[in-house]
Amino acid sequence: MGGSLALSLKKLDFIEEIVGTDHNISHQQEALLLGLVDKIVDFEAIKSYDVIILAIPVNGIISALKNLTNVSKSTTIIDLGSTKEIIVNSVPKEIRKNFVAAHPMTGTENFGPSAAFEGLYEDKVVVLCDLEESGDLQSSVAKNIFKSIGMKKYFMKSHEHDRHAAFISHMPHAISYSLANTVMKQENKRNILLLAAGGFRSMSRLAKSSPTMWEDIFKQNKKNLLEAIEVFEGELSSLKKSIENDDWENVNATLQQGGELHNVLD
């Protein structure tokens, strides 16, 4: 997410310099080699920059914010976390005006600097949460950045975002990991390689995502995620019962209903 954003920002004429920091030395070297950043700096040095973007795991965002309480009043801090409410509630009061809570609804199952590519953000949605609590300058800066890289802006409360994200993003990841584990425990690797076609590959693709990152997301959005999983379990149980009872008319109706999703998405 951070690397792809850096590539988009490099094209903007109002961006003078892009620097990065990372606790992982190999990631630092990769970012420089790939031209994602102009230079690597330590965490303390980023405090002097006009805009600080936290493209790190959600628990790391909370820790980083605690160490940014002495930035300038004009600094804009933007987080890109997949959860919002706990992060927003954890922002130190000294920098609440500095902070903008954002969630770009984009990304891939790959991670690290080598996963960065141009165009990741173009024509995608970014959700900005609780923007009325951010400073006027910081709100303006964030909106200008996301508009300039071609994103569509939507606004909502952080608790609303987290519930929606649980159903649309977090639950699908949980299902993908569970599907991958189910197959791995039932089939040998040879059969998986021979028989796994497009459907399985598509549904299990998200299981390639960073386990550490998603553990933190599941933890921060536990309540909403559990609700989403329970609703999904109910749908799957209903379909299972119809199959058990040879109620093929209901099976067909269920499949037809599910297919209507793509009338909305396409």
Distance of CA 121 to the CA centre of its chain: 12
Beta bridge partners of 104: 126
Whether 135 has a pLDDT exceeding 90, the answer reads yes
Residue 202 — pLDDT band, cuts 50, 70, 90? Answer: confident
Which tokens in the block code for residue 102?
Answer: 């954002």
DSSP, collapsed to helix, strand or coil, labels residue 148 as: helix
Reported as half-sphere exposure (CB side, CA atoms, 13 A), residue 262 has a value of: 4
Residues 6 or more apart in contact with residue 237 via CB below 8 angstroms: none
pLDDT digits (tens, 9 = 90+) for 228-252: 999 999 999 999 999 999 999 999 9
pLDDT above 70 covers a percentage of the chain that reads 99
- Tens of pLDDT along 153-186? 999 999 999 999 999 999 999 999 999 998 888 8
Determine the CATH number of domain 2-156: 3.40.50.720
Q: Which residue has the tokens 């999703």?
A: 261
Considering the chain, what is the average pLDDT of its residues?
Answer: 92
Q: Indicate the domain borders of the chain.
A: 2-156, 162-265
User: What pLDDT is recorded for position 188?
Assistant: 80
Per-residue pLDDT at 130: 97
What is the C-alpha to C-alpha distance for residues 240 and 45, in angstroms, rounded to an integer?
57
- Burial category of 157 from C-beta neighbours within 10 Å (exposed 0-12, middle 13-18, buried 19 and up): middle
182 CB neighbour count, 10 Å cutoff: 11
Name the residue with higher pLDDT: 63 or 205.
Answer: 63
CA dist list (Å): 98 to 50, 119, 183: 10, 27, 46
For residue 129, what are its two tokens? 């949460």
Assess whether pLDDT exceeds 90 at residue 24: no
**pLDDT at res. 62:** 96
DSSP string over 82-102: S--HHHHHHS-GGGTTTEEEE
Instruction: Say how far apart CA 206 and CA 228 lie, in whole Å.
Output: 17
Pick from 257, 195, 64: nearest CA to 78: 64
Superfamily of domain 162-265: 6-phosphogluconate dehydrogenase C-terminal like domain (1.10.3660.10)
Q: Does pLDDT of 115 surpass 90?
A: no
Region of 196 on the Ramachandran plot (φ > 0 left; ψ -120 to 50 alpha; else beta): beta
User: Where residue 117 falls among pLDDT bands split at 50, 70, 90?
Assistant: confident
Whether residue 110 has pLDDT greater than 80? no
DSSP 150-185: TPEEEEE-HHHHHHHHIIIIIHHHHHHHHHHHHHHH
